[in-house]
Structure 1
Amino acid sequence: MRTTIILSLTGFGLLALSAPVLADDITIAVAGPMTGPVASIGEQMKRGAEAAAAAINDGGGVDGRKIKIVIEDDACDPKQAVTVANLVVGQQIKYVDGHACSGSSIPASDVYAENDVLMMSPASSNPALTEKGHATIMRLYPRDDRQGEFIAPWIADRYKGKKIAILHDKSAYGKGLASVVKDKLNAGGVTEVMFEGINPGEKDYTAVITKLKSAGAEFVYFGGYHAEAGLILRQAADQGAKFQLMTGDSIATSEFWAMSGPAGEGTLFTFPTDPRRSPSAAKALEQFKAQGYDPEGFTLFSYGVVQAIADGVKRSGSDDPAKIAAALEDGKPVDTVMGPVKFDGKGDILDPRYDINMWSAGKYGPIAK
């Protein structure tokens, strides 16, 4: 950031000089779906970032400088995400906690990279995000290929001999994850009875449920978000269709159960090991407890992104996003609410761990693998 200094010089009028200085505040834009069908994820991101900023500021800030959070809404829409990215650039904000949906993060990342903005996603999992080689694009969240490698062998073993169907919502996240799971299952000798996309946002999934029944599907893997997953289960129950549903990480929100109701009982999903169980989360959990808020889902990942950016500023001694990214990717652990994390040269976290979770009576928790 540059500060303009105005000097009054006799005989010369006003002379404007520009000099690079460290900003008084460290502004971080939280860019995610604050509205729309997955707004609960945006709320988690917002809560996490604001709590992290408050904790850091209460502890003296970053070398005495305060963190300021700015909220931007991309509605999980690729075009709006690009608009948001350009807005962030126009405001000369250099750091982004976001985006959430891979379909938003991937196009927005090009804008950030071209304008030397550090973007660190707390939720986007499509491998393409960091495969482009952009120096300032990172994520504090595991990739879909790692998730697929983890869960496909488990599905093949646990549901051996069962008829497996795979659905996806055609999004970068949903289709990407479903395709990884399909490829890993196929490589292990398992062939699905059905691989099909649905249109997100529809109110009636009777047609696809009928196809599942006709195919005799006993296990359904769904790559997509909580709203569609919940609705499919509810409508399947109405039609008397019975199958085990499993999804990726997007249904770690109470809104899934609000949509599915009792039909969601027993639904399985993978999610990175819950940071709420980490000893490093103790102070943050007290923060949220005082607010009467449960930091489920992506809340603590967003919290961790703010911590990582703050640590990068300290390590690099600079406000330069490229230098901060390089400082974070040096292989040394970064202390976060999730515990110590390390980044590789692409900006991905190393050695991610997953839980298999189950929804029951309106809550979810890990099961024995």
Structure 2
Amino acid sequence: MRVPSFARAAVFALPLLSISLPALADIKIGVGVPLSGRLAAVGTQLRRGADQAVADINAKGGVLGQKLVVDAVDDGGEPTQSVAAANRLVTDRVAMVMGHMTTGTTMPAAQVYADEGVIVITPSSTSPELTAQGWDTLFRTCGRDDQQGQVIGAYLAEHYKGGKIAVVDDQTTYGKGLADAVRATLKAKGVPVALNGTLTAGEKDFSSMVTRLKSADVDAVFYGGLYPEAGLLVRQSRTAGLKAAFLAGDTLASDEFWTTAGAMGEGVMMAYNADVRQSPAAKEALDSFRKNGGEPNIFSLYSYAAVQVWAQAAAKAGSTDPKKVAAVLHSGQEFTTAVGPVSYDAKGDRKQNDYVIYAWHNGAYAPLAKQ
């Protein structure tokens, strides 16, 4: 029997009705931070920021119609582990990486990402050496050591010009780099350093350094290093009767510093970006954090911003292709984030610089002017 043409068309069309197009694959967002070891407290906060940013972006439809998923790897806060973490994330074909925490871990990992063409945005690695490498794929949402070093050095020069100032570092890329920036600023302002010293990251007994500080009768101590050793140095110095003022860098913006130093951390100062938690730009993100686990550490907002920057750049590029996204990031345009407007110079550094001096008081820190 001859089948009418319209019927044949219907018959041939029937199988097509059962064919569905494959769903778009999720976009993997890599997270490389210390989730174990002595820096895990801040690393966990950084991951929390990325997790919340992904959740909030997905709630608004994701990026280019695709959902984001977090692929987190523990780098232990160690350079060798960060390389392994970077290789793992590259193998997992992540679209970008939020990480790593310190300059010492970001530097070797960033080389892996550069070689593989993967964008990495660090929320907390501040060494100028990072962006001096010429990697087109490296960016940050934080500032630089030379910027905060100038603020710290200027504060010391103004308030302790006639006294004895000690500058101590932990010999890490971050700690020494920041201490050298402070030393350079003091020198430029004609203020001598009465004592230069070094510690070793990871050690716990700083009695010999405390003895040197006491013998020199210093009035102020700047410590370039991470919060675990900073807390111990302050505690041991105060226990030994040293009354000198203590200052450090942005690493002290961690509750773990106060946990270690306790009440002896009272009055300890640090440089950090202006408190974005007081800014209207952070309100939406803060509301999300508070609904899902309570008040975030300030580091969480900078990792949140890292994911926001990439997501907005990908949307503007109309692609997750790293070269296209990097071109948008390098274009100089502003991105709206939880830490305020973010735009980049040719090196991948933020154009915005708003470091101020904070002081710890009764378990919390606040800008000095508001104490």
Global fold match (TM > 0.5):
yes
Distance in 1, Cα, partners of 2:287 & 2:277: 11
Distance change in 2, residues 1:314/1:358 (3 Å): same
| Residues 1:167 and 2:145 aligned together | no
Higher strand share: 1
SS class of match (1:176): helix
Distance in 2, Cα, partners of 1:360 & 1:154: 19
What is aligned with 1:305?
Answer: 306
Distance in 2, Cα, partners of 1:24 & 1:334: 26
Consecutive unaligned residues of structure 2, counting only runs of 5 or more, are 1-21
Q: Counterpart of 2:151 in structure 1: which amino acid?
A: F
SS class of match (2:221): strand
Runs of 4+ in 1 over 3 A off after TM superposition: none
Instruction: Say if 1:44 and 1:299, in contact at 8 Å, map to a contact too.
Output: yes
What is aligned with 1:354?
Answer: 355
Q: Counterpart of 1:293 in structure 2: which amino acid?
A: G
SS class of match (1:79): helix
Aligned pairs for 1:318-333 within 5 A: 318-333=319-334
How much has 1:23 moved relative to structure 2?
Answer: 6.0
Instruction: Say if 2:151 and 2:271, in contact at 8 Å, map to a contact too.
Output: no
Q: Counterpart of 2:182 in structure 1: which amino acid?
A: V
| Residues 1:221 and 2:222 aligned together | yes
State the TM-score, normalized to the length of structure 2: 0.91
SS class of match (1:55): helix
Instruction: Say if 1:316 and 1:324, in contact at 8 Å, map to a contact too.
Output: yes
What is aligned with 1:366?
Answer: 367
Q: 1:98-133 CA deviation, whole Å, 9 max, x = no partner? A: 001000001111110000000010000001111111
How much has 1:22 moved relative to structure 2?
Answer: 11
What is aligned with 2:8?
Answer: none
What is aligned with 2:255?
Answer: 254
Higher helix share: 2
What is aligned with 2:204?
Answer: 203
Q: Counterpart of 1:322 in structure 2: which amino acid?
A: K
SS class of match (1:368): helix
How much has 1:90 moved relative to structure 2?
Answer: 1.5
What is aligned with 2:156?
Answer: 155
How much has 1:210 moved relative to structure 2?
Answer: 0.1
Distance in 2, Cα, partners of 1:237 & 1:150: 25
Distance change in 2, residues 1:22/1:337 (3 Å): farther
How much has 1:252 moved relative to structure 2?
Answer: 0.6
How much has 1:87 moved relative to structure 2?
Answer: 1.1
Distance in 2, Cα, partners of 1:292 & 1:80: 29
Aligned pairs for 1:334-353 within 5 A: 334-353=335-354
Distance in 2, Cα, partners of 1:260 & 1:342: 36
How much has 1:297 moved relative to structure 2?
Answer: 2.8
Identity rate of aligned residues, in percent?
41
Instruction: Say if 1:22 and 1:318, in contact at 8 Å, map to a contact too.
Output: no
Instruction: Say if 2:42 and 2:299, in contact at 8 Å, map to a contact too.
Output: yes
Aligned pairs for 1:1-369 within 5 A: 24-368=25-369
Q: 1:115-162 CA deviation, whole Å, 9 max, x = no partner? A: 000001000000111111111111111011111122212210111111
Q: Counterpart of 1:356 in structure 2: which amino acid?
A: I
Q: 1:306-343 CA deviation, whole Å, 9 max, x = no partner? A: 10110111111122112201101211110111122111
Instruction: Say if 1:130 and 1:137, in contact at 8 Å, map to a contact too.
Output: yes
Distance in 1, Cα, partners of 2:54 & 2:149: 33
Distance in 1, Cα, partners of 2:196 & 2:211: 14
Distance in 2, Cα, partners of 1:293 & 1:358: 23
Instruction: Say if 1:44 and 1:296, in contact at 8 Å, map to a contact too.
Output: yes
